[in-house]
Amino acid sequence: MPLFEYECRGCGRHFEFLTRDGQSPSCPSCEGANLQKLLSVFAVSTKAGNGDPAPFPASTGACGSCGDPRGPGSCSIN
């Protein structure tokens, strides 16, 4: 079940909707159906679940060649 982010074109509210079979999203504020699907981003933690540092260091930016979030040199594209 994918989670999507939307913006209501009627009232401007941003919200997330967990897609399930046969369900269509509607705005939780105004119940409008005129929605814009937004580009979702995901969070990346630099700590492991137990508080230890992650197995790879935090990057200052994405790879310029492929967009790998681990940073330049992390992928196999040259």
Q: Of the candidates 17, 62, 70, 65, which has an alpha carbon nearest to the alpha carbon of residue 45? A: 70
Domain count, the chain: 1
| 44: in domain | no
| Rounded distance between C-alpha atoms, residue 78 and residue 72, angstroms | 10
Domain range for 33: 3-38
| HSE-up (13 A, CA, CB side) for residue 28 | 8
| 28: in domain | yes
Q: Are 72 and 78 in contact (CB under 8 A)?
A: no
| 43: in domain | no
| 31: in domain | yes
Prediction pTM value:
0.51
Residue 26 has a pLDDT of: 94
| 73: in domain | no
| 34: in domain | yes
pLDDT per position as a tens digit, 39-78: 876 666 666 566 666 555 555 555 655 666 666 666 665 5
